[in-house]
């Protein structure tokens, strides 16, 4: 025990920070793809698909990410499906992100003005053409600021992966703290690194929002 | 080997689950009330003409909103302990959750304040209402009424986020689950039950806020606007 923060500790933390970014990208890409499917399912003409996707969103949004993570890591292992901490964290975050991005994107798609939908239909575009050529290009513009804002939530939420032993930034901070026992210094440093990752995204999201002239849409972002 | 699930074996620990759920609700309740106060003050502070106070409130909000709750809780819990200030896990949990949700509340309230038409404040000044009266009747209450749905969603999310407090040995629902699964070796059943309990808790909170909204904002009910 004891000693001072040295270059090796910082390198170790840097390594953890890289994994935080890696895990965030996994969650963003996986959750993005699944979230897109959810968004489309939520506005599907089929009632059963709508209900099913709505139930999924309600289920995930009503459960803490930590419990989803424990279910994936300890729960599935107990019934014979053992996953590595990275796989469990990646899968849980993907499920979680999909529910929130799905809702954000559904809102964006639905806020494309009604006449655009009608005009596309009037031009005899098929459902796919209408989505791809008319609605989605406009919805993406609306969806960008809240999506960038939600990326901040993704980065912050990857810190929970530390709980199942995945060595990202938070976990590497805990390990360094265990050898130094200077929690104030170490955790303040960790907080600073998270801030350095998240704040530029927050600012970018705010700038995009101002340019769009729309209200903030990331109120529903979890802590 | 077939997988056999045994929910009754886990469900017979229901007094533990119930205790955890009650503590989770207590955490959420304390942090909601205190965080709402803190957030309102921070939102008012951000709008003052005193540059120092406005700057301090902005730094608070941005610092909290851009760092993970887990780091904040560890910083408060282990940080304070290392400088000799030993507080109970429950106190630390309430404090950290309050500080956290206060920042989000401040942003929501600020949006509410900004949505108040300037003309209404000028009209109130023209009617010789005092500053306190203007703040209360013209700015605060209508702003809260407007952002009430966003606020309540944030508080439900706070309740879910309180699961993180299990990491500093607050005996709330997730901590109880960790304990029961290590005791019964039935992790899958335990976490499924806990997930269902959290969903029930969030439904209970939503119903509670909806009822509170009907009492607090009778005007809205008359207008027939959905909360």
- A198 to B66: CB separation less than 8 angstroms, yes or no: yes
Q: How confident is the model at residue A218 (pLDDT cuts 50, 70, 90)?
A: very low
The fraction of chain B above a pLDDT of 70, given in percent, is 95
- Quick one: pLDDT at residue B219? 74
- B188 to A76: CB separation less than 8 angstroms, yes or no: yes
Segment B24-38 shows an average pLDDT of: 96
In a domain, A2, yes or no: no
- Quick one: pLDDT at residue B185? 84
pLDDT at B5 over 90: no
How close does chain A come to B125, measured CA to CA in Å?
Answer: 28
Q: How confident is the model at residue B79 (pLDDT cuts 50, 70, 90)?
A: confident
Tens-digit pLDDT profile for residues B95-112: 999 999 999 999 999 999
How close does chain A come to B9, measured CA to CA in Å?
Answer: 15
In a domain, A36, yes or no: yes
In a domain, A34, yes or no: yes
Q: Which domain holds residue A40?
A: 7-212
In the stretch 59-78 of chain B, residues with CB closer than 8 A to chain A read 62-63, 65-72, 74-75, 78
- Quick one: pLDDT at residue B182? 87
- Quick one: pLDDT at residue A213? 62
Segment A63-68 shows an average pLDDT of: 96
pLDDT at A108 over 60: yes
- Quick one: pLDDT at residue A216? 44
- If one looks up domain B7-223 in CATH, what number appears? 1.10.3720.10
- Quick one: pLDDT at residue A191? 96
- B72 to A220: CB separation less than 8 angstroms, yes or no: no
In a domain, A218, yes or no: no
Q: Which of A43, A204, A210 is nearest to A112 (CA)?
A: A43
In a domain, A222, yes or no: no
- Quick one: pLDDT at residue B184? 87
Interface mutation target, options B5, B39, B71, chain A, most CBs of A under 10 Å: B71
pLDDT at A220 over 90: no
Q: Which of A202, A189, A20 is nearest to B66 (CA)?
A: A202
- A75 to B163: CB separation less than 8 angstroms, yes or no: no
How close does chain B come to A135, measured CA to CA in Å?
Answer: 27
- B66 to A77: CB separation less than 8 angstroms, yes or no: no
How close does chain A come to B108, measured CA to CA in Å?
Answer: 7
Q: Do residues B189 and B143 touch, judged by C-beta distance below 8 A?
A: no
- Quick one: pLDDT at residue B84? 84
- The torsion defined by the Cα of B144, B146, B148 and B151, in degrees rounded to 10, comes to -80
Q: How confident is the model at residue A2 (pLDDT cuts 50, 70, 90)?
A: low
Q: How confident is the model at residue A17 (pLDDT cuts 50, 70, 90)?
A: very high
In a domain, A220, yes or no: no
Segment A29-56 shows an average pLDDT of: 96
Nearest CB to A67: which of B3, B157, B174? Answer: B174
pLDDT at A84 over 70: yes
Handedness of CA B144, B147, B148, B154 (dihedral sign): negative
The fraction of chain A above a pLDDT of 70, given in percent, is 94
C-alpha distances (whole Å) from B68 to each of A86, A156, A197, B97 are: 19, 5, 11, 11
- B75 to A62: CB separation less than 8 angstroms, yes or no: no
- Quick one: pLDDT at residue A5? 82
Mean pLDDT of chain A: 91
Tens-digit pLDDT profile for residues A87-102: 999 999 999 999 999 9
CA gap A196, A174 in Å, rounded = 19
Contacts (Cβ under 8 Å, ≥6 apart) of B51? none
Nearest CB to B82: which of A80, A184, A202? Answer: A184
- B71 to A190: CB separation less than 8 angstroms, yes or no: yes
Q: Which of A196, A205, A194 is nearest to A20 (CA)?
A: A194
Tens-digit pLDDT profile for residues B125-168: 999 999 889 989 999 999 999 999 999 999 999 999 999 999 99
Tens-digit pLDDT profile for residues A109-127: 999 999 999 999 999 999 8
Mean pLDDT of chain B: 90
- A71 to B186: CB separation less than 8 angstroms, yes or no: no
Question: What are the structure tokens assigned to A76, written together?
Answer: 């599935």
Count of beta carbons in the 10 Å neighbourhood of residue B186: 21
Q: Do residues A146 and A101 touch, judged by C-beta distance below 8 A?
A: no
CA gap A198, B63 in Å, rounded = 10
How close does chain A come to B130, measured CA to CA in Å?
Answer: 31
Q: Please report residues of B whose CB lies closer than 8 A to that of A62.
A: 160, 198-199, 202-203
**Count of domains forming chain A:** 1
Global ipTM: 0.88
- B188 to A194: CB separation less than 8 angstroms, yes or no: no
How close does chain B come to A191, measured CA to CA in Å?
Answer: 6
- A183 to B79: CB separation less than 8 angstroms, yes or no: yes
Segment B4-17 shows an average pLDDT of: 85
Q: How confident is the model at residue A222 (pLDDT cuts 50, 70, 90)?
A: very low
CATH of the domain at A177: 1.10.3720.10
- B195 to A63: CB separation less than 8 angstroms, yes or no: yes
Q: Please report residues of B whose CB lies closer than 8 A to that of A202.
A: 62, 65-66
- Quick one: pLDDT at residue A148? 95
Segment B20-25 shows an average pLDDT of: 94
pLDDT top residue among B218 and A163 = A163
pLDDT top residue among A25 and A219 = A25
CA gap B186, A33 in Å, rounded = 32
């Amino acid at each position: 025990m004891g000693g001072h923060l040295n270059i090796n500790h910082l390198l170790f933390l840097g390594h953890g920070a890289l994994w935080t970014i890696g895990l965030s990208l996994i969650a963003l890409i996986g959750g993005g793809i699944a979230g897109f499917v959810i968004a489309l399912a939520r506005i599907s003409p089929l009632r059963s698909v709508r209900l099913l996707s709505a139930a999924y969103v309600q289920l995930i949004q009503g459960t803490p990410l930590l419990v989803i993570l424990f279910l994936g890591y300890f729960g599935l292992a107990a019934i014979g499906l053992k996953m590595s901490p990275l796989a469990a964290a990646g899968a849980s975050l993907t499920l979680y992100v999909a529910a929130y991005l799905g809702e954000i994107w559904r809102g964006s798609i639905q806020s494309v003005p009604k006449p655009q939908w009608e005009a596309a239909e009037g031009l005899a575009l098929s459902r796919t053409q209408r989505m791809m050529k008319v609605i989605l290009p406009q919805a993406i513009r609306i969806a960008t600021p809240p999506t960038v804002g939600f990326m901040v939530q993704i980065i912050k939420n990857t810190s929970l992966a530390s709980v199942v032993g995945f060595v990202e930034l938070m976990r590497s901070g805990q390990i360094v703290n265990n050898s130094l026992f200077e929690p104030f210094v170490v955790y303040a440093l960790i907080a600073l690194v998270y801030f350095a990752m998240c704040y530029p995204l927050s600012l970018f999201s705010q700038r995009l929002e101002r340019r769009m002239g729309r209200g903030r849409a990331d109120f529903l972002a979890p802590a | 080997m077939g997988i056999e699930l045994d929910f009754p074996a886990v469900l017979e620990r229901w007094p533990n689950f119930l205790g955890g759920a009650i503590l989770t609700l207590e955490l959420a309740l304390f942090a909601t009330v205190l965080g709402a106060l803190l957030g309102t003050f921070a939102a008012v502070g951000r709008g003052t003409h005193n540059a120092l106070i406005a700057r301090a409130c902005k730094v608070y909000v941005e610092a909290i909103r851009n760092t993970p709750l887990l780091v904040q809780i560890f910083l408060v819990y282990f940080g304070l302990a290392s400088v000799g200030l030993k507080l109970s896990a429950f106190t630390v949990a309430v404090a950290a959750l309050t500080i956290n949700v206060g920042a989000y509340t401040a942003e929501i309230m600020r949006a509410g304040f900004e949505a108040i038409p300037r003309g209404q404040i000028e009209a109130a000044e023209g009617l010789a209402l005092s500053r306190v009266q203007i703040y209360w009747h013209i700015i605060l209450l209508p702003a809260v009424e407007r952002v009430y749905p966003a606020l309540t969603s944030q508080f439900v999310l706070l309740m879910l986020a309180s699961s993180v407090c299990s990491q500093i040995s607050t005996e709330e629902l997730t901590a109880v689950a960790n304990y029961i699964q290590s005791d019964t070796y039935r992790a899958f059943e335990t976490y499924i039950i806990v997930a269902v309990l959290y969903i029930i808790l969030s439904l209970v909170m939503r119903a509670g806020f909806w009822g509170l909204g009907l009492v607090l904002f009778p005007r809205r009910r008359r207008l027939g606007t959905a909360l």
